[in-house]
Amino acid sequence: MDHVFIEGLEIEAVIGIYDWERRIRQPLVFDLEMAFDNRVPAASDAIGDTLDYAAVCERITRFVAQSEFGLVETLAERVAAIVLDEFKVARVRLKLSKPGAIRNARGVGVCIERSR
């Protein structure tokens, strides 16, 4: 199966379980791999036939920037649901990284794969 991917989408949000984390915004990084048959847009050369990665980035950014979840697990699940429901994607693999959350680790977070 083909994919459309988004790599390193950076968005700041309120995220975390500690009191100090509720008072600041922290950077989050999203990587997504979305199952999509790219043969149709390849044949038509029409943006309307694509899974438009710009539209997906815009929607995720709008949602995440106003979110205030405690766990990265919750946020990842909600973003995956938006991609599946609103963009008619059959399967999405999503990695959500919270860089700088743990000293000496480049990033921590979750990887999930969900399908409709």
Ligand X SMILES: Nc1nc2c(c(=O)[nH]1)N=C([C@H](O)[C@@H](O)CO)CN2
Q: Catalytic residue numbers?
A: 98
Stretch that binds ligand X, among 30-38, 48-56, 82-90, 94-102 (CB under 6 A): 94-102
Output 21 or 49, the one with its CB closest to ligand X.
Answer: 21
By the rule CB under 6 A, 98 interacts with ligand X? yes
User: Which tokens in the block code for residue 27?
Assistant: 């950077």
Would you report the helix, strand and coil content of the chain in percent, each value rounded to 5? 35, 30, 35
Q: How far is CA 70 from CA 18, 48, 86, in A?
A: 8, 36, 24
Nearest approach in angstroms of CB 6 to ligand X is 21
**CB closer to ligand X out of 34 and 98:** 98
